[in-house]
Chain A
Amino acid sequence: MWRYAGRRVLATVPVMGFVALFVFSLLYFAPGDPAAIIAGDQASADDIARIRVSLGLDRPFLIRFGEWLWHVLNGDLGTSIFSNLPVVHLIGQRVEPTLSLMLLTLLLSVGVAVPLGVLAAARAGSWIDRLVMLFAVLGFSVPVFVVGYVLAYVFALQLEWLPVQGYTPIARGVLPWLRNLVLPVVSLGAIYIALIARITRAAMLEVLGQDYIRTARAKGLGLAPILFVHALKNASVPIVTVIGLGVALLIGGAVVTESVFAIPGIGRLVVDAILRRDYPVIQGVTLLFSVVYVLVNLLVDLTYSLLDPRIRQ
């Protein structure tokens, strides 16, 4: 098990190197210029050129990449061109909101979607199954921001139960923290619930048709133990896969959700950085996202091997 995990960790190193080079090249060749944005609309072309020089943006690709890579290897992701704050500090400010949003969404999604999928499979063809699938189709079809606006209109503007926007750190109390996250989590969770519920239903239907389930029923086992003890464990590999893949979906969805609900998370940080061409921030966040994604995939792979020992061989 440990050798398997070690091999997988080592395999991520070249992936990270490639991601770093790719992102740097993309930004280098992409149009746009942070100097023009710093200078503002009233500045002349000469002003912009001088700001470019002062930022070192006129230097050749390899020198800039080498310098950046050296700093990254030394644990320094650089400094924002605009705010002059270290990228690590900027990311640090944003980790808690994004992590809160993603973890709560994951929790809500798995907690709701798996039972729904199991129920739909157990009652395949019934109105419950159709209702769950209708919800799944809606969850997939309606964009996150539309769900967000509708929820904000109903629960914040009309009922005045929850805030429209913002984030309260958990250090200021769990309830204020939750109040700010309810609407974003439900908005972001809708698509994820739909995805997991569908996959769970499909995987469960396959397992429920197998001989050992029939045997379990013949032995007189109740529906709940059959579904949740015998069937779900064997149906869990595709479910775990889709949860892992869904983390990428969550990262993308978090960008939109954070914008709609003005949550100061990493998604908004990177969108703002892209619009302003704040290269060190874009590079730092992209690197972080890729590390997270690689780690999640690693975790999923390791979970496979726990769920199905044949994979370890």
Chain B
Amino acid sequence: MTLGRRDVMKLAAGLLAAPAIARADAPRVLRFVPQANLSSLDAVAGTQYVVRNAALMVWETLYGVDSSFNPQPQMCEGHEVSDDFKTWSFRLRPGLTFHDGEAVTTRDVLASLQRWMVRDTMGQIIKSRLDALEAIDDRGFRFRLNKPFTKMLFALGKGNAPLPLIMPERIAKTDPFQLIKEYVGSGPMQFRTDEWVPGSRAVFELFQGYQPRAEPADWLAGGRRMNFDRIEWQILPDPATAGAALQNGEIDWWEQPIPDLVPLLKGNRDLVVDIADPLGNLGSLRMNHLHPPFNDPRARRALLMAVSQPDYMAAVCGGDDALWQPTASFFTPGTKLFTEDGGDLLKGPRNYEAAKKLLAEAGYNGEKVILMVATDIAITKAEGDVTADMLGKIGMNVDYQALDWGTVGARRSKKDPPGKGGWNIFHTWHAGADCINPAPYTALDAGGAKAWFGWPDSPAVEQGIVAWYDAADSAAETAAARAINRAAFDDVVYIPTGFFRQYQAWRHDLAGVVKAPFPVFWGVRKT
């Protein structure tokens, strides 16, 4: 038999006209595009959101916060606490099993908590008050503290990395500053290391031994019932490709579509586009408090007078005004501790002349100000451009340094003077879920040399944070938050550039997608 020219043409036509490309075929497989490449799974050693999101499927925590930020028992049956909040006793629920078939015991819990306490701010506070963390039996364990700690349950159930994930003892003994090499948890999905192609694909497979709690799921609380045998994360670095793949049915759910593509996706009847995280994000202009001109609070306040949040938010969100709102607060709008006390300088018309005057009073005389801008990230690029323009308006000599995020991430830790490899300003943003209270809020810390990049030193802010930790009731917590907000604006720990949300998008045949600070896979199903 010979294959003629016409046969070849027919074959090619048949190939091209074959049925439309497999839609996300099997109903028990979910194809998900995460916000970034999943480079590791250790949400104790690292604090990247994408790592946290993957880890939440593979591992569990003892408690888990619900959508009202109330910690509920997850791996634990419950707890007992002494009247002085110094002794906390917990009991694991029965039947907990790791993916390797071993039972979860208090040995695993103690080792996991020890590792977490080295890395996490709340963990460090517990560790500093710890007399003993001890096993009672295979399912019971106890914290004995030398000082009351009222926020234990929140610490064990929070959704911010470093997470107190419970790992097998052999894995939990890994140096807290090194990434774990084995991904064995007790969560509803197990990680398929053999199918992992870093930078391209990560596969999670249903763990048959998982026994969800009886309560309905609510964020990290309740029963984590999975309706998929496999969840495939596809890393699509190009947003246009991800958008096309979603429209074409090659993927089911895209965690973070860029604003430019949202109108297109909203116009597609097969897709649903909605706010992903109601807690949104706080944009941040971060100054270096160690070196002139921003070692002088007057120079920092001058910027506070000149920053126009609408300009920043327009640049970040494009024309979608529904995505953002101005905020004169360091806390997440709509949450319990939100307050605008002390934030007046950030409100009203911007006063460039007054800002110039204040800069002059601070001794600024045209010296170069290094603005590090991570141009490979749309948000920081947009904010950097607005800042460069604003600094120009108040007469500052801007040295705009276009860098990638990897370089900004490394260079921002340098305390050297700006002229010797240091910096003056960089931009980032903080997830609203990290700004609900001082515990997960690293960026609010104002403890000088030990504070986050920029090293703000504000005893008043630090006092407020201590007061919040020691607050016995809600009223005391609110009072502490007000004091923190006032002090943080007084000393200008950083400048909030506005509150903004982002969208997520999914195929219409996907049901059960909820709004949360992280993608919640339990409860999602295909119809």
Q: Taking beta carbons and an 8 Å cutoff, which residues of A are in contact with B?
A: 31-33, 35-51, 53-55, 80, 82-85, 90, 93-94, 149, 152-153, 155-157, 160-166, 175, 178-179, 259-262, 264, 268-269, 271-272, 275-278
Task: Tell me, in angstroms, the Cα distance from A277 to B179 when the chains sit together.
Answer: 16
Could you tell me the distance in whole angstroms from the C-beta of B44 to the nearest C-beta in chain A? 11
Summarize A's interface: helix, strand, loop or mixed: helix
Report the stretch among B195-203, B213-221, B360-368 that lies at the interface: B195-203
**A40-B161, A175-B15, A268-B200 are contacts. A32–B434 as well, Cβ < 8 Å?**
no
Q: A38-B179, A42-B434, A264-B200 are in contact. List 4 more A-B contacts (CB 8 A).
A: A32-B404, A32-B409, A44-B451, A275-B376
Chain A residues whose CB sits within 8 angstroms of the CB of B177 once the complex forms: 47, 50-51, 53-54
Chain A residues whose CB sits within 8 angstroms of the CB of B244 once the complex forms: 152-153, 156-157, 164-165
Chain A residues whose CB sits within 8 angstroms of the CB of B415 once the complex forms: 45
Q: Which of A41, A55, A83, A162 has the most CB of B within 10 A?
A: A41
B410 and A33 within 8 A (CB): yes
Chain B residues whose CB sits within 8 angstroms of the CB of A46 once the complex forms: 450
B21 and A272 within 8 A (CB): no
Chain A residues whose CB sits within 8 angstroms of the CB of B199 once the complex forms: 264, 268-269, 272
Question: Can you show 25 pairs from A to B with CB atoms below 8 A apart?
Answer: A32-B406, A32-B409, A33-B413, A37-B406, A37-B409, A39-B46, A40-B49, A41-B48, A43-B442, A44-B452, A83-B198, A84-B179, A152-B244, A155-B16, A160-B20, A160-B21, A163-B21, A166-B234, A179-B21, A259-B241, A262-B238, A262-B241, A264-B200, A272-B237, A276-B39
Could you tell me the distance in whole angstroms from the C-beta of B130 to the nearest C-beta in chain A? 20
Chain A residues whose CB sits within 8 angstroms of the CB of B376 once the complex forms: 275
Could you tell me the distance in whole angstroms from the C-beta of A259 to the nearest C-beta in chain B? 5
Q: Which of B21, B198, B250 has the most CB of A within 10 A?
A: B198
Task: Tell me, in angstroms, the Cα distance from A83 to B428 when the chains sit together.
Answer: 25
Could you tell me the distance in whole angstroms from the C-beta of B91 to the nearest C-beta in chain A? 31
Check if B247 is an interface residue, CB within 8 A of chain A: yes
Please name the residue on chain B nearest to A270 by beta carbon.
B199
Check if B17 is an interface residue, CB within 8 A of chain A: yes
Could you tell me the distance in whole angstroms from the C-beta of A257 to the nearest C-beta in chain B? 11
A31 and B201 within 8 A (CB): no
Task: Tell me, in angstroms, the Cα distance from A31 to B414 when the chains sit together.
Answer: 12
> For chain B residues 448-483, which have a beta carbon within 8 Å of chain A?
450-453
Contact partner of A40 among B15, B47, B250, B403, CB < 8 A?
Answer: B47
Chain B interface category by residue count: 35 or more
**A85-B198, A275-B376 are contacts. A165–B241 as well, Cβ < 8 Å?**
yes
B413 and A166 within 8 A (CB): no
**A40-B48, A51-B177 are contacts. A262–B200 as well, Cβ < 8 Å?**
yes
Chain A residues whose CB sits within 8 angstroms of the CB of B407 once the complex forms: 31-32
B247 and A157 within 8 A (CB): yes
A45 and B39 within 8 A (CB): no
Contact partner of A42 among B37, B245, B442, B450, CB < 8 A?
Answer: B442
Chain A residues whose CB sits within 8 angstroms of the CB of B20 once the complex forms: 160-161
Check if B81 is an interface residue, CB within 8 A of chain A: no
Please name the residue on chain A nearest to B162 by beta carbon.
A42
Please name the residue on chain A nearest to B201 by beta carbon.
A264
B39 and A83 within 8 A (CB): yes
Task: Tell me, in angstroms, the Cα distance from A175 to B15 when the chains sit together.
Answer: 8
Task: Tell me, in angstroms, the Cα distance from A82 to B36 when the chains sit together.
Answer: 14
Check if B353 is an interface residue, CB within 8 A of chain A: no
A45 and B40 within 8 A (CB): no
Shortest Cβ-Cβ A-B pairs, 9 listed: A40-B47, A33-B410, A264-B200, A42-B47, A82-B39, A36-B409, A160-B20, A272-B199, A45-B413
Task: Tell me, in angstroms, the Cα distance from A219 to B18 when the chains sit together.
Answer: 51
Could you tell me the distance in whole angstroms from the C-beta of A203 to the nearest C-beta in chain B? 29
Q: Which of A45, A94, A178 has the most CB of B within 10 A?
A: A45
Check if B150 is an interface residue, CB within 8 A of chain A: no
Chain A residues whose CB sits within 8 angstroms of the CB of B406 once the complex forms: 31-33, 36-37, 275-277
B241 and A164 within 8 A (CB): yes
Chain B residues whose CB sits within 8 angstroms of the CB of A155 once the complex forms: 16
A161 and B241 within 8 A (CB): no
> 1/0 per residue B405-446: CB within 8 Å of A?
111011111010000000000001010001000001010000
Contact partner of A83 among B17, B40, B238, B245, CB < 8 A?
Answer: B40
Chain B residues whose CB sits within 8 angstroms of the CB of A278 once the complex forms: 39
A80 and B198 within 8 A (CB): yes
Task: Tell me, in angstroms, the Cα distance from A118 to B241 when the chains sit together.
Answer: 37
Chain B residues whose CB sits within 8 angstroms of the CB of A152 once the complex forms: 241, 244
Q: Which of B37, B49, B119, B406 has the most CB of A within 10 A?
A: B406
Task: Tell me, in angstroms, the Cα distance from A212 to B112 when the chains sit together.
Answer: 83
A162 and B16 within 8 A (CB): yes
> For chain B residues 190-210, which have a beta carbon within 8 Å of chain A?
196-201
Contact partner of A262 among B162, B181, B234, CB < 8 A?
Answer: B234
**A54-B178, A83-B196, A276-B39 are contacts. A165–B410 as well, Cβ < 8 Å?**
no
> 1/0 per residue B365-399: CB within 8 Å of A?
00000000000100000000000000000000000
Contact partner of B245 among A36, A37, A164, CB < 8 A?
Answer: A164
B241 and A261 within 8 A (CB): yes
> 1/0 per residue B112-132: CB within 8 Å of A?
000000010000000000000
Could you tell me the distance in whole angstroms from the C-beta of A173 to the nearest C-beta in chain B? 12
Check if B175 is an interface residue, CB within 8 A of chain A: yes
Chain B residues whose CB sits within 8 angstroms of the CB of A49 once the complex forms: 413
Chain B residues whose CB sits within 8 angstroms of the CB of A163 once the complex forms: 21-22, 248, 250
Please name the residue on chain B nearest to A90 by beta carbon.
B198
